């Protein structure tokens, strides 16, 4: 439900002094000091040297200062009736001051109350309160009607100008708070995204390394169960050990990647196919540095594809093609096919699915399926 503009309070940011510059704080306190000085001076001048009257005037000024402080506090809390009560008591003190002969102090209080009401109360209450103060002011001032009206309009404009200025400052404070909250949320989102990236990177490294080790260890287990030769079992165990070393190297490389220290993609692919017999790599297009996420996606897809070749088509010839295009990079890994290996059923089968999800997060795609005599994995990543 939309709030009625005539009953809407000025915002707490507008009523508070938060966000005020040093110069404006000095100006505000200077005005308050001037008003208090005028009240005290009026009390002393109008007392005509009488001790008791001077004391009563000073006491009235101090009481008015306390009530003004209460008025400022209750308006800041948006408490209407306590604010109006403080305002009414201030009007009573002004009337008492006028009746007692403190005319200057009464006039200052009436004008100050009108300005404060227009600045800090809801519009309806502000106009009524300011009307009461202006009415009292006009009834006692010794001037013609036009002068009284002009003075009242001037004081009213001053109060309303202060209100508009406070509202503008309050809006700026709210916008600043919203901007800070947005920046904090953006920083938190960036931190969460970075954590997800690190988790995904570590997962991909470990999944590749451990699955490759599993391939060789499972082969060793099958050889032992079938009474295979010791030499064959030894070869598998040694291969698993080498994969463990390779996994450690990949982990270190992943950490370097997270620090932005990646080896060139071409060198990585050349080293990767060197671990697979009958594999070759072809690079076309204008070579250039890729964004970290895109480079990592290509590396992980190549690793997963070669691991699948070792599992499902051992001994097959593999061709790895990397093509740099103007707006994307394409990785194509295809094998010549072959008889299914003994380890075809090992693994959870989530490797290519994870690579596809990684590619889609970057706005790319990954396609995998039969092609020619073997199997083809094609990755496209925009850069």
Sequence-distant (6+) residues with CB within 8 A of 300 are 204, 208, 355, 358
pLDDT surpasses 50 at 346: no
Average pLDDT on 216-236 reads: 81
Average pLDDT on 131-155 reads: 78
Range of 69-83, 201-215, 231-245 with top mean pLDDT? 69-83
d(CA 302, CA 273): 9
Q: What is the pLDDT of residue 349?
A: 47
**Terminal Cα distance for the chain, rounded:** 48
Q: What is the pLDDT of residue 36?
A: 60
Nearest Cα neighbor of 311 from 171, 193, 213 is 213
pLDDT surpasses 80 at 85: yes
Bridge partners (DSSP) listed for residue 374: 371
Q: What is the pLDDT of residue 82?
A: 92
Sequence-distant (6+) residues with CB within 8 A of 96 are 60
Which segments within 158-315 are labelled E, that is strand?
A: 279-284
Domain edges within the chain: 12-142, 263-383
Name the residue with higher pLDDT: 203 or 177: 177
Average pLDDT on 153-163 reads: 81
Contact 284, 329 (CB under 8 A): no
Q: What is the pLDDT of residue 28?
A: 63
Sequence-distant (6+) residues with CB within 8 A of 10 are 119, 120, 163, 166, 167, 170
Q: What is the pLDDT of residue 369?
A: 85
pLDDT digit string, tens, across residues 88-121: 999 988 888 888 877 777 887 888 888 888 888 9
- What DSSP line would sit under 338-381, residue for residue? -PPPTTTT-S-S-HHHHHHHHHHHTT-EEEEEEETTEEEEEEEE
pLDDT surpasses 70 at 81: yes
H helices, E strands: number in the chain = 11, 5
- Least-confidence region, from 101-115, 268-282, 335-349: 335-349
Would you say the C-alpha torsion 283, 289, 294, 295 has a positive or negative sign? positive
- Domain 263-383, CATH 3.40.50.300 — does that match? no
Q: Tell me the pairing of strands 374-382 and 318-324.
A: unpaired
Contact 205, 254 (CB under 8 A): yes
């Amino acid at each position: 439900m939309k709030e009625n503009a005539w009953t809407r309070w000025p915002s707490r940011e507008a009523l508070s002094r938060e966000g005020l510059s040093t110069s404006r704080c000095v100006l505000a306190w200077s005005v308050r000091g001037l008003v208090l000085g005028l009240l005290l001076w009026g009390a002393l001048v109008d007392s005509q040297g009488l001790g008791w009257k001077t004391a009563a005037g000073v006491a009235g000024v101090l009481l008015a200062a306390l009530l003004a402080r209460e008025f400022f506090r209750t308006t800041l809390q948006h408490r209407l009736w306590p604010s109006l009560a403080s305002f009414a008591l201030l009007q009573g003190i002004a009337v008492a001051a006028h009746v007692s002969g403190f005319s200057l102090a009464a006039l200052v209080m009436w004008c100050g109350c009108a300005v404060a009401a227009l600045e800090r109360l809801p519009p309806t209450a502000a106009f009524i309160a300011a009307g009461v103060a202006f009415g009292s002011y006009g009834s006692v001032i010794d001037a013609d009607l036009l002068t009284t009206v002009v003075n009242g309009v001037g004081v009213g404009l001053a109060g309303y100008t202060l209100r508009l200025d406070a509202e503008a400052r309050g809006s700026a404070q709210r916008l600043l708070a919203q901007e800070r909250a947005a920046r904090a949320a953006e920083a938190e989102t960036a931190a969460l995204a970075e954590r997800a990236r690190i988790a995904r990177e570590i997962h991909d490294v470990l999944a590749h390394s451990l699955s490759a080790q599993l391939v060789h260890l499972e082969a060793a287990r099958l050889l032992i169960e079938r009474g295979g030769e010791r030499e064959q079992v030894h070869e598998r165990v040694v291969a698993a050990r080498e994969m463990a070393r390779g996994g450690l190297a990949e982990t270190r490389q992943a950490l370097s990647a997270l620090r932005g220290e990646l080896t060139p993609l071409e060198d990585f692919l050349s080293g990767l196919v060197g671990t697979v017999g009958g594999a070759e790599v072809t690079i076309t297009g204008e070579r250039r540095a890729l964004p970290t996420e895109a480079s990592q996606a290509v590396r992980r897809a190549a690793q997963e594809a070669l691991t699948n070749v070792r599992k499902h088509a051992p001994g097959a010839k593999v061709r790895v093609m990397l093509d740099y295009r103007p707006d994307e990079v394409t990785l194509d890994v295809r094998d010549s096919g072959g008889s299914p290996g003994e380890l075809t059923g090992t693994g959870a089968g989530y490797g290519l699915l994870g690579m596809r999800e990684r590619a889609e997060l970057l706005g790319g795609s990954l396609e995998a399926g039969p092609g020619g005599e073997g199997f083809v994995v094609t990755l496209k990543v925009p850069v």
